[in-house]
Amino acid sequence: MADFTVSLSDEKAGAPWGENARLSFTETGAVIHLAQDSDSERAIAQAARKLDGLNLPAVTLTGDWQKEQQWAFALSFTRARHPGAITWADNDDQAQLAQEYAALVFTRQLVNDTPEDLSPETLAQRAAQWVKSLGQDKVSFTMTVGEALKDAGWVGIYNVGRGSERPPAMLELDYNPTGNADAPVDAVLVGKGITFDSGGYSIKSSEGMLDMKCDMGGAATVTGALGLAITQGINKRIKLILCCAENLISGHAYKLGDVLTYKNGVTVEVVNTDAEGRLVLADGLMAATETGAPLIIDAATLTGAAMVALGSDYHAVFSKDDSAREQMLNAAKLENERFWPLPLEAFHADRCPSAFADTANSRPMKGGGGGGASNAAGFLSRFVNPQGKGWVHLDLAAAYHGGATAEMPVGATAKGIRAIARMLHDFKA
């Protein structure tokens, strides 16, 4: 069978295809017409969705394609189920695109997997094994599982996950290309790995629960970013911490009114068991801070408030460190990924008050009330250094689409992996 080719043209499509047609077809494939579009990547994305709807097993990009044009095609063409293969245009971008695409496919497949097949332990194991396959003997890791989390003092991950028969897990992975066990840690990536989120006793509606297999999107995104950085040849010591749990209801589940005491002494009243992501991330951020790394990036599908603010087009960026925030935004801009800053001030740490603890994990109202994404970031700020130096929090509003759009397939997007990988390469304290 001959390859189905896809090429670009600056000319309008022929009259039979329609006045404003983006696509026309030839004997061997399709042509994407960019004549009337100032935003060529958006036009390519929309055309790629239409081609993806044909369930093509493979396509070959031919002719004159820029790198970002090929990437736009790949983001939109790669459907969740049985994605078609892509052969890149014959130019100097092939090797780089192959690296990025491998990380994209891994990240999307992990997020799109069923919650039955992806237990907390399985998530940690699959992430570790994939990074190990790339970094070989430069990668080592440990997992703390179930009751061992309680014994180690990781109360957030333990309590959120103890309602499930499948135990919670914390992955601590070390990519150390120096070979020196005493080498300083250059960066730590922390990911929220809630493999299914029922909301706990603050139970979600059926509709709200349907897509909650995606609540480990933060863990998948930072893992994909680290894997990409490794294939790009990064020569820095980087640690990966995944905070993995199922948030389910049972006689052993954590409850509203519980007070958790964290390793750093902070006490937290649980006023909403569906604000569980920040509870598990708190453990990961403390573990990251203990390394002394000058850069900590955490990523999480954390709040609906971030999606209300930004829709599903942008990831929200929070930091008390102006330099770190600007470097993260610049990395995203250079990688053509949409990140946008939202406010985080010292006072946000006090926006979830409690009469029974130092803080609550949310506010006892729908969605946590106004400014919920900033308040969640403020909660997390209690678990890094007091000034928040070198810490960047990403609320991944654009990580998953519950339905296909004109530009994106249903399911995981993997947006953010390129920007985070670049931040690992370029960050300067």
Whole-model pTM above 0.95? Answer: yes
Same domain, 162 and 275: yes
pLDDT band at 206 (very low <50, low <70, confident <90, very high): very high
Please indicate, yes or no, if residue 371 is contained in any of the structural domains: yes
User: Which amino acid does the sequence have at 244?
Assistant: C
Same domain, 66 and 185: no
- The predicted-structure confidence for 161-170, as pLDDT tens digits, reads as follows 999 999 999 9
- pLDDT (tens digit per residue) in 129-172: 999 999 999 999 999 999 999 999 999 999 999 999 999 999 99
Contact 161, 137 (CB under 8 A): no
**Both 177 and 267 in a single domain?**
yes
* CA pair distance 295, 190, nearest whole angstrom: 11
Q: Are residues 241 and 388 in the same domain?
A: yes
Catalytic residue status for 278: yes
pLDDT over 90 (residue 264): yes
Q: Is residue 101 part of a domain?
A: no
DSSP β-bridge partners for residue 317: 341, 394
Q: Same domain, yes or no, for 222 and 351? A: yes
What's the whole-number mean pLDDT along residues 185-195? 98
226 found inside a domain: yes
CATH code: domain of residue 25 = 3.40.50
Is residue 57 situated within a structural domain?
yes
User: Maximum Cα–Cα distance for the chain, whole Å?
Assistant: 72
Domain co-membership, 270 together with 330: yes
The verdict on residue 53 lying in a domain is: yes
pLDDT per position as a tens digit, 329-367: 999 999 999 999 999 999 999 999 999 999 999 999 877
Q: DSSP assignment of 131-200, as one string?
A: HHHHHGGGEEEEEEETHHHHHHT-HHHHHHHTTSSSPPEEEEEEE-TT--TTPPP-EEEEEEEEEEE--T
User: If you search the block for the tokens 């670009």, which residue do you land on?
Assistant: 8
200/290 same-domain check: yes
Q: Is the pLDDT of residue 205 over 70?
A: yes
Rounded Cα–Cα distance for residues 343 and 20 (Å): 41
Instruction: Calculate mean pLDDT across residues 99-109.
Output: 98
Per-chain mean pLDDT for the chain:
96
Catalytic residue among 50, 204, 263, 338: 204
Domain boundary among 91, 122, 141: 91
Rounded Cα gap, residues 158 and 366, in angstroms: 25
Same domain, 59 and 85: yes
Q: What is the CATH number of the domain that holds 414?
A: 3.40.630.10
What's the pLDDT score for residue 19?
83
- Asked if residue 158 belongs to a domain, the reply is yes
For residue 1, pLDDT beyond 70: no
With respect to residue 98, please indicate whether it lies within any of the assigned structural domains: no
Mean pLDDT for the stretch of residues 234-242: 98
The three-point CA angle 92-95-98 to 5° equals 130
Known active-site residue 263: no
Q: Domain check: are 44 and 156 in the same one? A: no
pLDDT at 37 over 80: no
Predicted pLDDT at 366: 78
Q: Do 139 and 264 belong to one domain?
A: yes
Q: In what order do the strands lie in the sheet with 85-87?
A: 23-25, 29-33, 5-9, 58-61, 85-87
Asked whether residue 71 falls in the same domain as residue 125, the answer is no
3-state secondary structure of 84: coil
Boundary-marking domain end, from 60, 91, 122? 91
Same domain, yes or no: 42 and 159: no
Which of 22, 108, 239, 278 is an active site residue? 278
Our count of domains for the chain comes to 2
66: containing domain: 5-91
